[in-house]
Structure 1
Amino acid sequence: MSHSATRPVSAYVFDAYGTLFDVHAAVRRHAGDLGPEAVSLSTLWRQKQLEYSWTRALMGRYLDFWALTEQALDTAMAMTGKSDANLRQRLLDAYWKLDCYQEVPTVLKRLKDDGNRLAILSNGSPAMLEAAVRAAGIEDLLDEVFSTDLLKTYKTRQDVYELVTNHFRIYPEAVSFQSSNRWDIAGATAFGFRSVWINRIGAADEYSDLPPIAVLADLQGLLALS
């Protein structure tokens, strides 16, 4: 599938974790209890969460994203020498109500007011996504929240992105897809979405053969593209 610059955008679709919701917010809330290992633990937690999703998808041995989130935290705590069961539970509880990035409500409202359809497409389990969307107060701005749990697999499987086009009955090139994860942008580009990389941390580019149509520092820049 290929991009088409002539077909108008029919839907704006967003990855959830790292794009709309700050995956490091849970650790920040308890950084005082974690001490100097807080940043390392948070980074490892996220890395292992994603690694487990990829390996599970490749093996065809599905566990939902909450189970992977728990396993990833256990690994991160072990690797940073933490063994506090109470702290573990508090970190997990905090993950259900991650902070959304500051610009998210404003940008989504502007796009919605312009008559666009908005959706989330995420590896997150339905319960996780429902809780995060409710905590951010953006539920009324979204037309759909798609979880890969429907297919019992994870991104970047191409049938995951097809959830969007099948539901809205549109061509891939009519979808503007936003993600902070470069690997997700590569997968969405391969499927045919107009992919916009939200590069919040100034990461180096990868997957040069599957480029996004734009690279933005945050979602605010999306309004200039719409």
Structure 2
Amino acid sequence: MSFDPDRVTTVTFDSYSTLVDVDAAERALAERVADPEPVSRLWRSRSLAYTFVANAVDAYQPFYEMNRDALQYALDAHGADVTTEERDEILAVYHELDVFDDVRDGIERLHDGGYDTYVVSNGNPEMLDSMVEHAGIGDLIADTISADEVETFKPDAEIYRHAAARTGTPIDQIAHATAGWFDVLGARHAGMQGVWVDRKGDPWDGFAGDPDLTADGIHELADELGV
């Protein structure tokens, strides 16, 4: 399926790895862990795995708590001697992750071009509020929509349908932009157009279909929408 810009009236964005850089959390680990890279990788992968499993076994809890548990597992798995207080200080970096350079200007192009823009994320409301404030996009984002509102995580179709209802937009008029391959597939399955924001030049895993559009950043999406 190819991208159809004429159908799009609303653009939704994922947060982590799309608007803000989760790899920046490795620096917080580096202050307390001798070899932070493998801990950081396991932390992120375990965090995502918890969301997938939670959907399947009805074990929802707010993402900040799941992310804390994933961090603790990663620290334990690598034998890191970190106190609970230090762990929570590492976790708190999620409230001030580095913002990608194109975020403010790219979303502003879409906003000024007449598109409604939202954030749709697994993050709980407090995380999203701090992210929007830290990114300086509060005047451009109509609202944030959290998995916490429906107590289910991506790529469950319910969160995308809920987002469409919250935006007041027919679901097939939404383009969802995300760095997460599973998020692209979830959005497409629910009826949105899925835009893969491939910031790292990674190969796409096409086992369950392709994105409607692949963009290296938000400006390329704005180009495709003609704004």
Aligned residue for 2:11, secondary structure, equals strand
Mapped partners of 2:124, 2:157: distance in 1: 18
Mapped partners of 1:178, 1:21: distance in 2: 13
CA deviation vs aligned residue, 1:98-157 (integer Å, no higher than 9, x gap): 111111111011111112100010000011111111111111110010001011111111
Structure 1 position 169, deviation (Å): 2.8
* AA aligned opposite 1:158: A
Describe how 1:1-226 pairs up with structure 2 within 5 A.
5=4, 7-35=6-34, 37-85=35-83, 86-226=85-225
* AA aligned opposite 1:218: G
Mapped partners of 2:154, 2:222: distance in 1: 26
Aligned CA RMSD, in angstroms, stands at: 1.8
Extract unaligned runs of 5+ from structure 2: none
Aligned residue for 1:24, secondary structure, equals helix
CA deviation vs aligned residue, 1:166-188 (integer Å, no higher than 9, x gap): 12332222111101010110111
Q: Provide the TM-score with structure 1 as the length reference.
A: 0.92
Structure 1 position 191, deviation (Å): 1.2
Asked if the contact 2:185–2:211 (Cα under 8 Å) also holds between the matched residues in 1, the reply is: yes
Residues 128-137 or 24-33, more deviating: 24-33
Asked if the contact 1:189–1:210 (Cα under 8 Å) also holds between the matched residues in 2, the reply is: no
Residues 164-173 or 128-137, more deviating: 164-173
- Report how many residues are paired: 224
Residues 207-216 or 19-28, more deviating: 207-216
Structure 1 position 3, deviation (Å): 8.1
Aligned-pair identity in percent equals 27
* AA aligned opposite 1:10: T
